[in-house]
Structure 1
Amino acid sequence: MNKCSAYNRVFQHFDEDKDGKISALELCRCIESIGGGLLMEEAETVIESLDSDGDGLLGSEDFVGLMESGSEEEKIKDLREAFEMYDTDGAECITPKSLKSMLSRLGESRALEECVVMINQFDLDGNGVLNFEEFKDMMIH
């Protein structure tokens, strides 16, 4: 999965009403669904600062700008938090089972065999799981 397709999948998940835009309410709900917190005012400020066409919503290009903003340190921190969401058993790795579980929570049903194939694409050491460095490489490239 390249960076653009990863951003697109996240964008589609945030876009609850599938109108091709993310509203402040959708942004708040999705941040909440992954264990974060964002006040409506904060979401509106984020959207206002990135909204390229002035419609009060984030389009996919605006969303990529949001995802790519911030320092390298912030990006690594965000990736670590995302990695921990997939690492459901605390083993410091993403297993096919934990990937299947997380994708299911995001509304994307996959067979365990498909998850094995997905992990194998980025499993550099061949151990059948993704460690943080492999996950980071997958998300950045």
Structure 2
Amino acid sequence: MEKYEQFERVFSHFDSNNDGKISPEELCQCVADMAAEEAEAAVALMDSDGDGLLSLEDFVKIVEGAGEEERQSDLMAAFKLYAPEGSSCITAESLKRMLSRLGERRSVHDCKNMIATFDLNGDGVLNFDEFKIMMSSAC
């Protein structure tokens, strides 16, 4: 079987409603232990046309792995969405605000707990390195 056909077959498994796109909800259904906010962040990070869904091309790019420089650039762009303007970290409040924009209602307490999972230095916020670890565990 050709490599691209294999990607299509796996993509079809993820695309449960057969609309040609993978939604964050579909991603959650297929990836064990992935929380809704992690799926939304992963889709937002890799969605090339901004429709909030992953196309087959986006999916292939994820599976094959983008070049490290492009990946770093994409991660930095995603990080900036969550970090307050001019800040070098994601706070519980900024995480709550971004999740709210994505339609996910969480309390500041919930956001502090989410941050604590990946807060390696214990300062209560996520820096870019911690964010990269969080995103790599989500994908």
Shift of 1:70: 1.7
Q: TM-score scaled by structure 1?
A: 0.59
3-state DSSP of counterpart to 1:129:
coil
**Counterpart of 1:42?**
none
Q: Does 1:58 align with 2:55?
A: yes
Q: Does 1:98 align with 2:94?
A: yes
Q: TM-score scaled by structure 2?
A: 0.60
Residues 123-138 of structure 1 mapped to structure 2, 5 A cutoff: 123-138=119-134
3-state DSSP of counterpart to 1:70:
coil
Percent sequence identity is 41
Flag the 1:11–1:97 CA change in 2: closer, same or farther, 3 A.
closer
**Counterpart of 2:22?**
none
Flag the 1:86–1:133 CA change in 2: closer, same or farther, 3 A.
same
The one-letter code sitting in structure 2 at the alignment partner of 1:136 is: K
**Counterpart of 1:40?**
none
- The total of aligned residue pairs comes to 101
Q: Give the gaps of 5 or more residues in structure 2.
A: 1-30
Q: What are the superposed Cα offsets for residues 2-33 of structure 1, whole Å, 9 maximum, x if unpaired?
A: xx5377334777xxxxxxxx9x9xx34449xx
Residues 33-52 of structure 1 mapped to structure 2, 5 A cutoff: none
Which structure exhibits the higher relative contact order, with contacts defined as CA atoms closer than 8 Å and separated by 6 or more residues?
A: 1
**Counterpart of 1:115?**
111
Cα distance in 1 for partners of 2:85, 2:71 equals 23
The one-letter code sitting in structure 1 at the alignment partner of 2:62 is: M
Q: For the Cα contact (< 8 Å) 1:96–1:129, is it kept in 2? A: yes
Runs of 4+ in 1 over 2 A off after TM superposition: 4-13, 27-31, 62-69
Flag the 1:128–1:140 CA change in 2: closer, same or farther, 3 A.
same
Q: For the Cα contact (< 8 Å) 1:92–1:132, is it kept in 2? A: yes
Q: Does 1:89 align with 2:120?
A: no
Q: Give the gaps of 5 or more residues in structure 1.
A: 14-21, 32-56
Shift of 1:140: 1.2
Q: Does 1:70 align with 2:101?
A: no
Q: What are the superposed Cα offsets for residues 31-74 of structure 1, whole Å, 9 maximum, x if unpaired?
A: 9xxxxxxxxxxxxxxxxxxxxxxxxx836xx6443334320111
Cα distance in 2 for partners of 1:104, 1:131 equals 21
